[in-house]
């Protein structure tokens, strides 16, 4: 069976356009009657066949639709700002693992302090590429928080990755049920003493995934993989 290539569409349109159209015609050189898979990032995947290609768009005849339900537990990551290359890696891998949202925020020892708008748009493209590659039917929200203080106001089960805590895989999380889990990942230099004090005062649970000092992207991806597995086998 030949491979069916995936394309991102807006809403439920059966039209491939924009960057996706360029990829379809100039890179993959698709033609009429070629089969394609369409994802809208909202839990729906469509299978169909191209029946018309115009100057700036292609039309698809849909013959199958699959609808997926979101997990009852929302898994959200809040990550201290890192350079763009590392942000791209984090967004790609966390999207493949099916997290609900990926949020970046500045902290005292962050490598950078702000993000340009064009960099934000590139991260959305990275996430779109990841759902096309992985088949994840949901596109995560990608957001940027303006301050560390916003993190202290989070609702839900708040987890702060720290070497001081218990191992995540051994924690009592497996014995509880949560509708929203928030994972806070600090910079490679760690949070400042003041930030740690504020986090602890807010009652965030401290958990670790290794005895070693991990890079920010390693900590984010590893914890996402562990939690995605626990959610898959319905440990919580």
What's the pLDDT tens digit per position in 117-176? Answer: 667 789 999 999 999 999 999 999 999 998 999 999 999 999 999 888 777 766 666 556
Domain finish residue from 15, 48, 67: 67
Task: Write out pLDDT tens, residues 38-51.
Answer: 999 999 999 999 99
Exposure letters 44-54 (e unless 16+ CB within 10 A, then b): bbbebebeebe
Query: Which one, of 212, 200, 199, 221, lies nearest residue 163 by Cα?
Result: 212
Question: Do 98 and 208 lie in a common domain?
Answer: yes
The answer to whether residues 127 and 92 touch, using CB atoms and an 8 Å cutoff, is: yes
pLDDT one-digit tens code per residue, 18-34: 999 999 999 999 999 99
98 and 204: one domain? yes
Over range 177-195, report the average pLDDT. Answer: 89
Among candidate residues 29, 47, 67, the one where a domain is terminated:
67
Same structural domain for residues 133 and 214? yes
């Amino acid at each position: 069976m030949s491979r069916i290539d995936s394309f991102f569409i807006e809403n439920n349109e059966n039209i491939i356009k924009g960057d996706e159209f360029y990829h379809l015609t100039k890179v993959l050189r698709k033609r009429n009657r070629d089969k394609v898979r369409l994802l809208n990032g909202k839990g729906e995947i469509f299978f169909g066949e191209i029946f018309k290609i115009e100057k700036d768009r292609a039309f698809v005849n849909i013959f199958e639709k699959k609808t997926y339900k979101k997990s009852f537990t929302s898994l959200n990551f809040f990550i201290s700002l890192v350079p763009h290359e590392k942000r791209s890696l984090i967004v790609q891998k966390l999207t493949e693992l099916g997290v609900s949202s990926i949020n970046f925020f500045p902290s005292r020892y962050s490598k950078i302090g702000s993000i340009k708008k064009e960099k934000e748009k590139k991260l959305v493209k990275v996430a779109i590429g990841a759902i096309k590659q992985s088949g994840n039917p949901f596109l995560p929200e990608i957001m940027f928080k303006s301050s560390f203080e916003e993190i202290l106001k989070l609702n839900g089960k708040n987890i702060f990755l720290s070497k001081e805590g218990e191992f995540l895989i051994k924690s009592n999380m497996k014995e509880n049920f949560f509708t929203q889990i928030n994972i806070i990942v600090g910079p490679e230099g760690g949070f400042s003493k003041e930030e740690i004090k504020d986090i602890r005062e807010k009652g965030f649970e401290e958990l670790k995934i290794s005895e070693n000092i991990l890079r920010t992207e390693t900590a984010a991806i590893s914890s996402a993989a562990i939690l995605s597995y626990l959610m898959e086998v319905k440990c919580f």
